[in-house]
Amino acid sequence: MAHKKKETNASSSFFWTALTTIATLIGGAGATGWVMPDLPWLGPRISALASTLGLDGPQAQAVETTKPDANSWIPSTAAPGIHAPSAPTASIAYAPGAAAAQPSRLQPAPASTPASAPAAGPFAAPGPVPPTTPPQAKPSDAVLVASFNIQVFGESKMAKPQVVDVLARVVRTFDIVAIQEVRAKSDAIIPDFIRAINADGSRYQHVIGPRLGRTASKEQYTFIYDTNRIELDTASVGTMRDPADRLHRPPMYARFRVRTAPPERGFSFWMVDTHTDPDEVSQEVDALADVFVVMRSARPDEDDVILLGDFNASPMQFGRIKKIPSIGWAISGVPTNTRRTKTYDNLIFDPIATREYTGRWGVVDLQNTFGLSIDKALEVSDHNPVWAAFSPWELPASQGALMQPAAIPMPVPLR
């Protein structure tokens, strides 16, 4: 029996060595390379071989991607307050034995929601310095994506009508807004805010993530989007898994698409909402570099990732993020906090992959835009909203951001 067991172990070792070698050639990452089941012909056979040898556990983890499903897009007539589904679009698993050598260990995971509810520098915008406020009305040839840290957004702030009015007017300016620092015991805060936004006849909805944080003071991320112009991929919503606890509040992500005619021509993109811990900025910014890389490979049919939020860091402090090939960011040289002293809020993306970026960006100065004193502006938030404009249609990789196809599909308003 001992001799037979020895032979079995040798056979298993031989096959595992062969399997690892093939995986290395496929993944290009050494002994911890990816085994990709979705590769034509070879991938499924590798997975089947691993299963036969009993190696489909931690020794043969794989990148698993869900194929796009046209039915997962939320129709614009869906009810407000849509929460995260039970499963994300993609599940990312790291190769075995990578705990020490693989620093990221960050994985997309389902969002848990309440039951009730340029090369050497920043990617500068072409041409003259952009305006600090967005257009008066939403343009038909661009989609406006924004980030807004609404400081301690909870019951106290919602109890101030003048503050809610400013916040609602800000959101209505944009097609989609990533919000940070929702901090409330009640699950009704964002639904109530959506009602205030839609009081003028607008048709905004939201998707919200779980309460996050290492302390008793938890925060939530939320995306608020105009259903007249944007639709949500319901199978895509999740929160990054962070087993190494590198991030105080792991980012929330979701995939959106511009409503165009025909629908498949609309610009689709990941949005990844983040708020770093001000006491651990350098470590968390470096972790976000891994988040960006993971999300860029989360599904084979999506190469547009917009990482946005309150980084508590200027572009000069972007650390490992700046080492990502062709990475860029929208906001540069303009303060983003209400006191006009720091550039902490930004939108980060790869301008080579995301050629839909138009080069237009800005910061909404709450004082100037709404005629507020500094004290009144700080009642709204200690951060100003930041934004960037993107083409509403998906551009082929060979086309530049400012080039337009012969037939331009425009956003389709609801009747």
- pLDDT tens for each residue of 4-44: 444 444 454 444 445 444 443 333 333 222 223 333 333 34
pLDDT band at 186 (very low <50, low <70, confident <90, very high): very high
pLDDT reading at 409 higher than 60:
no
pLDDT reading at 72 higher than 90:
no
pLDDT reading at 324 higher than 80:
yes
Sign, Cα dihedral of 235, 238, 244, 246: positive
Report pLDDT for 137. 78
- Answer yes or no: is 189 within a domain: yes
Asked if 325 and 90 count as a contact pair (C-beta separation under 8 A), the reply is: no
pLDDT reading at 404 higher than 80:
no
pLDDT reading at 1 higher than 80:
no
The 3-class secondary structure across 363-388, one letter per residue, is ECCHHHHHCCCHHHHHHHCCECCEEE
- Answer yes or no: is 197 within a domain: yes
Task: Please give the average per-residue pLDDT across 330-334, as a whole number.
Answer: 96
The structural domain count of the chain equals 2
Structure tokens at 250: 């792991």
- Answer yes or no: is 246 within a domain: yes
Asked if 140 and 114 count as a contact pair (C-beta separation under 8 A), the reply is: no
Domain boundary among 31, 62, 93: 62
pLDDT reading at 392 higher than 60:
yes
Is the same domain home to 175 and 308?
yes
pLDDT band at 176 (very low <50, low <70, confident <90, very high): very high
Asked if 92 and 243 count as a contact pair (C-beta separation under 8 A), the reply is: no
Rounded Cα distance, 86 and 107, in Å:
15
- Specify the CATH number for the domain of residue 283: 3.60.10.10
Structure tokens at 92: 């990312």
Rounded Cα distance, 139 and 375, in Å:
32
> Out of 157-161, 262-266, 399-403, which region has the weakest mean confidence (pLDDT)?
399-403
Rounded Cα distance, 265 and 257, in Å:
9
- Answer yes or no: is 409 within a domain: no
Domain boundary among 62, 88, 104: 62
- Answer yes or no: is 168 within a domain: yes
Is the same domain home to 56 and 147?
no
pLDDT band at 123 (very low <50, low <70, confident <90, very high): very low
Is the same domain home to 186 and 46?
no
295 sits in which H/E element: helix 281-296
| pLDDT tens for each residue of 360-389 | 999 999 999 999 999 999 999 999 999 999
Q: Which domain holds residue 11?
A: 2-62
Report pLDDT for 396. 76
Is the same domain home to 210 and 299?
yes
> Out of 80-89, 279-288, 315-324, which region has the weakest mean confidence (pLDDT)?
80-89
Is the same domain home to 26 and 149?
no
Selected residue with higher pLDDT from 354 and 57: 354
> Out of 119-133, 208-222, 248-262, which region has the weakest mean confidence (pLDDT)?
119-133
Structure tokens at 410: 């425009």
Q: How many other CB atoms are there within 10 angstroms of residue 59's CB atom?
A: 16
Helix pair angle (189-197, 161-172), 10° resolution: 70
Report pLDDT for 319. 96
- Answer yes or no: is 413 within a domain: no
CB burial of 107-122 (b: ≥16 within 10 Å; e: otherwise) equals bbbbbebeeeeeeeeb
> C-alpha angle 39/34/286, rounded to 5°?
130
Backbone angles phi, psi at 32, to 5 degrees: -105, 25
Selected residue with higher pLDDT from 324 and 404: 324
Q: Work out the percent of the chain whose per-residue pLDDT is above 90.
A: 61
315 sits in which H/E element: none
Structure tokens at 409: 């599909």
Q: Where are the beta strands (DSSP E) in 227-267?
A: 230-232, 238-241, 252-258
Report pLDDT for 122. 29
Burial class from Cβ neighbours inside 10 Å (0-12, 13-18, 19+) for residue 9 reads: exposed
Give the chain's mean pLDDT.
74
Is the same domain home to 210 and 358?
yes
> Out of 46-60, 181-195, 325-339, 349-363, which region has the weakest mean confidence (pLDDT)?
46-60
Task: Please give the average per-residue pLDDT across 96-120, as a whole number.
Answer: 33
Domain boundary among 62, 78, 111: 62
Q: Is the entire prediction scored with pTM above 0.85?
A: no
- Answer yes or no: is 308 within a domain: yes
- Answer yes or no: is 303 within a domain: yes
Is the same domain home to 168 and 272?
yes
Task: Please give the average per-residue pLDDT across 227-241, as a whole number.
Answer: 96
